[in-house]
Structure 1
């Protein structure tokens, strides 16, 4: 057994077994919110792991996206049939899709409608609301499911999922989970879900163990984007965990504003085109394309449908959340999305508002050098945006004692 195999197996096993709060799975399996969170994150993580084994298999994309789309439609129909409500944040999120669907109709594309389908359950909310306890159980169980699949993959196919590093980057172990840089998407995914045990850990000691374990796993993928995302997300989550009251809200809010500022600087600074593994050239072209249609953008599928040229290779995204939104939806799309997020935070239960900000910070942090989730298309982890909005619209049932969850995403 090589050092990296032992490190990955031990870290994943420890992370998976750490105690986290949340009602038992047997109490949550009947709830819509449990399955929505569980399925979205489980399928994203499993799909990224399977991509290390056979990245060209189209069944992986079907697994990752078709089931969430179907689930989104079914849950939305159920919510509407039972008297759904649409909060102000939901109306603005829906409004962000208006120019995108117009482009889609013109080009005969289904992707924006499929992206909308995944988000519909957090736009059309059930009248009785979503139960935070079941959301947390979905977060916990999805993380454990992904780690279990990762452990099985490393045990069964160590020579396939672990290999040599790409020339310009490597893990501390001299090889990488995901040969030749292919583990980068998995590293970004692990960086985001690293906040789950911090929000849900029962004791500070277990939280610190989870931080160490997640850091080892993210580093093993040799993902620099993942390590940046992990450092920012974990830092914000630990500030939330170790403070309280108004001071907690102040620190977490400052973290959220700080990562938004970082994303903006990365987007507008005149980097040399070859910097950040060629991402800077993508940003340069994205700024130019945005100026061609600054109000409504060029549509969510423009970037992947452009011709591959020597000027810029076609890519799945601009690798920066701000530029992706501006190219996809223009200033209109960016403004309504920001308003939607601000309204979400403002309307969130004051007891969970800081935890919502942690999730928001982790989302933006994961999209400084990538795009993990945004309206209009499937990206690396479409469940992130769903989690942000379902968490912000969640509440605890009347009569539930909050004190037991004082350090578990509630108070």
Structure 2
């Protein structure tokens, strides 16, 4: 078998066999296939796509390239959640605590942020002492005991994905549905969970800008999950404006805790209750969506979800006092208001550019390995559809520098105030 023949076959739009896919992934992992041939096949896949069978075969082989966690010692149906990424998307943190409080084990392996999208691990590391890297045994014991742990993936999980992703990034083949789907699902299947709810974002701040592309990705992810024997479904949610009111690592931990205390913003709460209700259903703890939703609401009313979060922070070495004293987390010294230039209604609040503005402040990474400033960020006072008066503050910018004209200019360019405005819907589709 020759790699050049596999490239030729896919370039001409033909379906690869399982043996050809296995040959390719084995060669990527052991280094026998040079980067230029890997890149050539990635570009062929980008233009020629893959069948459902090819996508599943690619995912499973990538998963098998490394370790698969054995979570059988944890009783119950293990349920996880994945998001395709967005601005202000701190959903995983309060959601995991709420689902765990219902009695469902949530062994969550999360990622870091890159570009305008934030990462769950980065947010958690704004809590002093919090460790996102713990041993496999400690991870399993913690989930068994507390029903909850959020950690980073080890290098032993789907190593083929790490090598392929690095090449996708520099060959402009990132936004390919079969490559996105196999990347996400190889790691999720390797993590050993029984069921998965996927939050596929759509809109200006999402990876997939159109509802059609987001739907195609959601269907691909669910098909792969089911093909691998996992309970799997997807929710397509809005990312035309930032989620919640706070963007930035410390700020998003604050908002996550606020939600667990019953004080969070309504859009964030609505999405969490939707995703969480499906997790509860997959976990076998409720018979219908409304019962599941009510169970989750009770975890906030009773403070059980907050207690679960506190236990997780403590178990992973974090200072749980932050739950009652936000000042124990890093904060920027300057708070700068951004006044509205005219009166009207907010008709546009571009999530991607607001996210880039937060990144420019130091709250995100332009490239992997960049250090973060946990204390900076943006606090929104107005969302799409809200009425604003000229001179009223649209947002507070948390910065380490008083002179941020470039950031302000970028934000102003991506906010529109009109006579009328539509409020975007939060949930577009459910894919099962």
**What is the TM-score when the length of structure 1 is the normalising length?**
0.29
Q: Which has the higher contact order (CA 8 A, sep 6+)?
A: 1
Structure whose residues are more often helix by fraction:
1
**What is the TM-score when the length of structure 2 is the normalising length?**
0.28
User: Which structure's CA Rg is the greater one?
Assistant: 2
Structure whose residues are more often strand by fraction:
2
